[in-house]
Chain A
Amino acid sequence: MANRIGIKVQNKVKEVVFMSLLRGTLAKRKLDQKIAKLAGGKKKSNGVKRIPIKTADKMKLLMGRYYIKAKIAEKDPDQKIAWITSGGPVEILHAAGVTPIYPENHAAMIGTTRMADSLCSVAEDQGYSRDLCSYARSDFGSILSKKSPIGGSPRPDFLVCCNNICGTVTKWYQELQRIFDVPLIMIDAPYQYGDDRPEAIDYVKAQLQEMMDKVGQITGKPIQWSRFEETVYRSKEALQLWRNVQDMLAHRPAPMNSFDTFIHLAPIVTLRGTPECIEYYKTLQAEMQGRIRNGIASVEGEKYRLGWDNLAIWYKIQFLAKKFGEYKAALVVSTYAKSFCYEAPYQDEKDILRTMAANYIAGYINHGLDYRERELLEMAEKFHLDGFVMHSNRSCRAYSFGQYELARRMEEKYGLPTIMIEADQSDTRSWSDEQIGTRIDAFMESLIARKNAAAK
């Protein structure tokens, strides 16, 4: 009897969640149409014609199912939920059967659906400074107001924070711990200025081991090593596929652009370590292979190729794609999409945990300027770049401070021009289409003039 009621409740939850997701999707579709209309996107202006990526529909289903599962987990006392940072060691959670929730993903959705301004204001009214990261502000605003594009995130049983992406998450998660009064597992992944230090890898390895023990205590079931191993291998496979997909953008013309990769990184962040994630990137890879075979370009008549640095400007993805598209310029690589698939130089199949520790230190924004310069240069060469678009992101000091110097090095050492776009990842309040549009015009005109001059 109790069981049947349980199923009934579950079905009801499914229905409610599905409807709220649907509402979110519909609202977003409406918004997309509105934006497209405002941008004059319905007309195929300047011959820019986009053939949509079919796998995107699959992602909506995949992510939808994931959120429904998470919502159901919230009602099931045996199913633990952990909130985790985008750079956190999620494999341990998957191996423990814990449902991971990503406040950063949620915040990106808030940014895309343009709910960030109002949710940030809610947080600001409660005393959070407007200078704080807009993801954190909109997350707090969403928790406080219970407003969200997907009906809110399920409540966490515990929190996992890895500071390999910034020190901001340390503070953000301390605040989440105060709000929810649940355990917080901190993984401190020291920032590397030169080659990755062995003692830092040992330090992270020790913390990962502790995390496995703690997660086992929280769920009441120690993590099975074989299951953990299997999860790590699945994760590795998915990461390789995601790398392959990004590498395919080196093809001229690129079969998709960086703005697409910002959308397609949701599964690698959320579901790496699961079979679904592997399936997803296999499908995407096959579609890209097909597009290359059939000569389908993300930007028709692609003439110029640019790299992107920093987080997406979620509320202006279409505006930027269209703006650069007008100049036949395609964004073909980004430090951001690559952030979620770094592999460390150190790899040892016999020590999975230490290899994992090294990989969690390895990301772009956990490294200093010289490393970042090498990465950018490698991208420029591999992807045949004509220049960089750098998003100087008010919300992200760890990512942004140093960009002026990197832009200078790219220009002086390698003759690669950079446009610096001063903006924010999700808070739209300091953005101006006109101002940024004019700067992009000036940048592209000068880039084209230089390229033409060089060709003569």
Chain B
Amino acid sequence: MVSGNGTPLEVFTSVCDDFYATARAVAASGRKVAGYFCSYAPQELLHAAGYFPVRALGRPGGTPRADQLLQAYACSLARSSFDAALSGEFDFMDLVVFSHTCDTMQNLADLWRSSRPNQRVIIVSAPSVTAGAAAHAYYRKVLGDVREQIEALSGPISDDAIRASIELYARHRDLIQRLYTLRREHSERLSGQDLLAVVTSSVMMPKEDHLALLEPFVVELEAAADPAPKRLPRVFVAGSVCQNMGFITALEEAGCMVVDDDLCMGSRSFSLPDAPAGDPVDALVEMYLGRRPCPAFHTAGFDPGAFLVERARAARAAGVVFLLTKFCDPWFFDYPHVNKTLEAAGIPGLLVEVEQNLPVPEQFRTRAEAFVEMLKAKAD
């Protein structure tokens, strides 16, 4: 255990206050650390090889070094993570893993490799199409190859070890999903910002450590009594990665409850289906292609508008707040359709462009308050 003392929630929150402190401590203790980009990176493979997979989510502050190599119209997640790497803040990562998603991440992977020659980079060439035999066969080959690349660094990874990691991650995912259910059904027991702290800390801590804290935390919450209802407007949050939890805090401070999300650093990362029996790499193929898609992918027949309406209704949300990272093309292409579908379903939306590395702007608070007031007036 490297995350200090306190209640589980205090630990989760303190981990989020300084994203990579835990990982640095783990690295200092001698365990190998693999930083990864995008929730599509096959963490189970890294874990099975003995790595502690930690998610790279950028960090607050300016990006002067990255700006020399990456245009200003790259998203803040890319620029701030790259800046951290260029200033040596990510040197504790023995390995960095990219999985192909959007154009920005695709090109950043290469820039990273060329700018950090002493850091090993593995790029997982995931297909951009998730359905069909051809995509599955291709991804199977890619993951088999990635396994070999990792093995070249770590030594052989047994099928049993991969199965054990899949099992560990599944147990963890199951608890996270129970927490989301709690948040939807018993919204007074846990705030939206606390839920996000649990979720975000889980990619910054060794899975075993997080699980050890999460299990009693969830069990206790499930058994707890409901506090008196606050009758605040229920809000659903959708968007790209939003690692600045200040946005969720500010939203709830504006007088609403964030009851569910479709965020990349949120429920979307935990939407993988259960592993089928058999070959563990085959299982990973099914899990990662079968999960709820990031908008950078093409899933035939998937309608992100209808999907969000269904999710918002299931959470009994009165409105949806879009927290979209500025320059996140995949999301911004979907946004007009998704918002129109919501409007047609009578669910108002609020679009917010987020710069991940900057503090929550004052203007956001004003807009959040106005939105919450509007939801209250609508409910009356």
Contact = CB atoms under 8 A, between A and B. Distances in A.
Contacts of B274: none
Contacts of B134: 203, 206-207, 210
Contacts of B119: none
Nearest to B115: A405
A170 interface: yes
B327 A131 contact: yes
A398 B73 CA distance: 12
A178 B333 contact: no
Contact of B127 (A190, A392, A400): A190
Nearest to B123: A193
Interface in A161-175: 163, 166-168, 170-172, 174-175
Nearest to A402: B107
Contacts of A368: 110
Contacts of A131: 73, 326-327, 329, 332
Given A397-B103, A401-B71, A132 B333 contact: yes
B111 A405 contact: yes
A398 B330 contact: no
Contacts of B135: 188, 203
Given A131-B327, A170-B128, A186-B298, A191 B68 contact: no
Given A129-B335, A401-B103, A188 B128 contact: yes
Interface stretch (B37-45, B136-144, B187-195): B136-144
A199 B138 CA distance: 6
A320 B138 CA distance: 44
A394 interface: yes
Nearest to A420: B71
B336 interface: yes
Given A136-B333, A168-B329, A401-B108, A200 B125 contact: yes
Nearest to B69: A404
A190 B100 contact: yes
Given A167-B329, A171-B334, A188-B127, A400 B71 contact: yes
A126 B336 CA distance: 7
Contacts of B71: 392, 394, 400-401, 403-404, 422
A127 B125 contact: no
A207 B332 CA distance: 28
Interface in A285-314: none
B103 A167 contact: yes
A344 interface: no
A127 B133 CA distance: 36
A167 B128 contact: yes
Which residue, B298, B334, B335, has most C-beta atoms of chain A within 10 A?
B298
Interface string A121-140: 00000111101110010000
A166 to B, nearest CB: 6
Given A127-B339, A193-B123, A405-B114, A188 B298 contact: yes
Given A203-B134, A405-B111, A163 B333 contact: no
28 contacts: A126-B336, A129-B332, A131-B327, A133-B329, A167-B330, A172-B333, A174-B334, A178-B337, A184-B300, A193-B109, A193-B125, A199-B138, A199-B142, A200-B138, A202-B138, A203-B127, A203-B135, A206-B137, A210-B132, A369-B110, A397-B329, A398-B103, A398-B107, A400-B73, A401-B104, A401-B111, A404-B68, A405-B69
What 8 A-B pairs have minimum CB-CB distances, sorted nearest first? A171-B333, A127-B336, A401-B107, A203-B138, A206-B134, A398-B103, A199-B141, A129-B332
